[in-house]
Amino acid sequence: MRGDDRARGGVSAIFHSQVCGTAVNNNSNQPAPTLVGIIGRFTRRRAPRASRPSRPPFAMRAAVYDRTAVEGVRVVTRPPPTAPARDALLVRVRACGVNPVDAKGVVGDKLPAFLRPLARRALDGTIAGFDLSGVVDRAPPNSGFAVGDEVFGAVPPFRGSFAELVRVPLHQVAKKPASLSHAQAAALVLPGVTVTQLLDQHGFEPGQRLLIIGASGGVGHLAVKLAKARGAKSVVGVCSAANAAFVRSCGADAVVAYDAECSETTRDSSGGGKEREIGNETTTPDAVVDELRRIVREDLGGHAFDLVLDAVTSGDARDAGFEYERRVRSAGLVKTPANGADAHNYVTIGSRPVGWVLAAIKRVTGVNLFARGRELFWIRFPGCASDLAELARVCDGDASASGGRTSVAPAIEATLPLTSEGVAEAFRRLHSRRVRGKIVVEVT
């Protein structure tokens, strides 16, 4: 072999050893660093970020309005809310109370029928729900809350509570009643705040007499419980014959069944357990009023009702035939103040759109334009933290005339999962208008 061939072979061997990794360190038994190894280590350290395996961002489940879905709602995945501001908590939701306003797409009967489809279109993709109970995930400093606290409250309209993680304003949340489960606490929020604000706004005092129409529903059954807990002398409920026993179990002193072929009884307001038969024949509107007259005359000593809460009357055409206000007023069953002042003591929680316009005027200006003796109540969420705290005290037994803990807990008819099928079923039941107590969506 010629010298130049040997030289070329040596260079080739050296190159091959460096590139292919076969070189040996002459001063040790360890392999010498190779060019491939050096380049590999360099490229591994300098690998572009995009080439690294990445964890997908956390996505939460949320129930959103969707006109094309069953009952107009479905569950999707959404990015979670960011860290809360100084005036809000980040809450990991455990349960959500479901209300008729949720099933009606927030606007409910507040808009004329021809505008509702446009409103529902605008709501598509918006998270449903107001009420929730859960655990604080993040809290701003000096908020009075800490991570891990159990809380219940409401989110503002169009923000939505039917999700795994929500942001709740500090002025709309309170510590959860210790005596209630998350499901019960969530069920308490909207109807409990409604009744609390309504009684306060209309000057309720212990010893008064209340008539509650629709006493087996979400607001109605809690109105019975809370009125008794706050010292009402007598609470009379109107409901179906099938729900009469349930309303009595909520604490009603007397119950009048409105429907046909009732064989229900009313309980004497003295608490002595005396029962009277209403009858075994088809009831008529006059039969309901006649029974209420008898209760006023015999059980209430001739004293008319200080306050009527009508949880049935609404803008729905199905309710128009009941005409409860006309029948109750014409029978003289509602008290008229001796000084001639307008007590606005026949209160509804539903109305045709014109009623909501008058309620909005009263809310914004303070001017009450409702006809004499009547009023539509509209819940006020901003600042309801104090109402929630009062509800918690009543539920846990403080300031409760009837032992709060067992008497004020909301009744739950069904608990359903946070799935498309579960939320749709909750809405379907509410649309049927046959729910006794409350329906809850549980987040697991």
Residue 219 and residue 362 share a domain: yes
- Position 185 in a domain: no
Q: What is the mean pLDDT of residues 32-48?
A: 44
Residue 240 and residue 163 share a domain: no
Residue 163 and residue 236 share a domain: no
Residue labelled with tokens 């539920």: 395
Residue 120 and residue 26 share a domain: no
Residue 247 and residue 323 share a domain: yes
Residue 329 tokens, joined: 């007023």
* Predicted pLDDT at 444: 79
- Position 183 in a domain: no
Least confident of 29-33, 149-153, 190-194, 310-314: 29-33
Q: Is the pLDDT of residue 17 over 50?
A: no
Cβ atoms of 64 and 74 within 8 Å: the answer is yes
266 pLDDT band, cuts 50/70/90, is: very low
Q: What is the mean pLDDT of residues 160-176?
A: 97
Residue 227 and residue 114 share a domain: no
Residue 422 and residue 401 share a domain: no
Alpha carbon distance, N-terminus to C-terminus of the chain = 81
Region of residue 193 (left: phi > 0; alpha: psi -120 to 50; beta: else): alpha
Q: What is the mean pLDDT of residues 394-399?
A: 77
- Position 182 in a domain: no
Q: Is the pLDDT of residue 19 over 90?
A: no
Range of the domain at 254: 190-410
Q: Is the pLDDT of residue 50 over 50?
A: no
Least confident of 70-79, 144-153, 181-190, 310-319: 310-319
pLDDT digits (tens, 9 = 90+) for 60-88: 999 999 999 999 999 999 999 977 778 99
Residue 86 tokens, joined: 């100084």
- Position 99 in a domain: yes
Residue 296 and residue 261 share a domain: yes
Q: What is the mean pLDDT of residues 98-126?
A: 89
| Alpha carbon distance 51, 29 (integer Å) | 36
We report the CATH number of the domain holding residue 335 as 3.40.50.720
Stated pTM of the model: 0.80
Q: What is the mean pLDDT of residues 394-422?
A: 78
Nearest residue to 235 via CA among 288, 299, 151: 299
347 pLDDT band, cuts 50/70/90, is: very high
pLDDT digits (tens, 9 = 90+) for 189-216: 999 999 999 999 998 999 999 999 999 9
Least confident of 242-256, 276-290, 310-324: 276-290
Q: Is the pLDDT of residue 1 over 70?
A: no
Residue 132 and residue 36 share a domain: no
- Position 90 in a domain: yes
* Predicted pLDDT at 417: 98
Residue 249 and residue 210 share a domain: yes
Least confident of 124-138, 284-298, 401-415: 401-415
* Predicted pLDDT at 109: 79
Q: Is the pLDDT of residue 224 over 80?
A: yes
Most confident of 6-10, 35-39, 111-115: 111-115
- Position 181 in a domain: no
Can you name the residues that pair with 365 across neighbouring β-strands? none
Of the two residues 321 and 391, the one the predictor is more confident about is 391
Residue 377 and residue 255 share a domain: yes
We report the CATH number of the domain holding residue 69 as 3.90.180.10
Task: Please tell me the total count of domains within the chain.
Answer: 3
Most confident of 8-12, 400-404, 440-444: 440-444
Average pLDDT, the chain: 83
Residue 337 and residue 303 share a domain: yes
Least confident of 217-221, 258-262, 383-387: 258-262
* Predicted pLDDT at 85: 76
* Predicted pLDDT at 30: 46
| Alpha carbon distance 390, 152 (integer Å) | 12
- Position 101 in a domain: yes
